[in-house]
Amino acid sequence: MYEFDPIQERQIRELAQKMRFVGYCWLAFGILLVIDSLSKIAQGEVTEATSSVLYGLIQFLIGFWTRQAAGSFRSIVETRGNDIANLMKAIAELRNLYNLQYWLLLIMLAVAC
């Protein structure tokens, strides 16, 4: 059973705190953008609203997976005996986040070319 040392735990805690804040911001931005898009739909601006809803959902997903990873990193510090399992959960959430960004970049490059 591996346990991170106090210095490593401090670094992980600081990372988790920053990720948590960033995740909440992305969630809020995503929710606000979707709400704004719904008001545009009500005003008949469906074309603009469609892309805004999509972008809001993407922001929400980025925030969600960032928060999930932050929670797993925080669990490394707050629990004993599960450091590696919690680290692997955090990595899985980060993999989801970067898979989304990877595919979005490929789509943007394909559209731009």
Q: What digits encode the pLDDT tens for the residues 72-107? A: 999 999 999 999 999 999 999 999 999 999 999 999
**pTM value?**
0.88
What confidence tens digit (pLDDT) does each residue in 14-41 have?
A: 999 999 999 999 999 999 999 999 999 9
Q: What are the distances in angstroms from CA 54 to CA 27, 46, 88, 99?
A: 14, 12, 29, 17
Q: For the chain, give the longest Cα–Cα distance.
A: 59
Encode burial over 66-101: b for 16+ CB neighbours within 10 A, e otherwise: bbbbbbbbbbbbeeeebbeebbebbeebbebbeeee
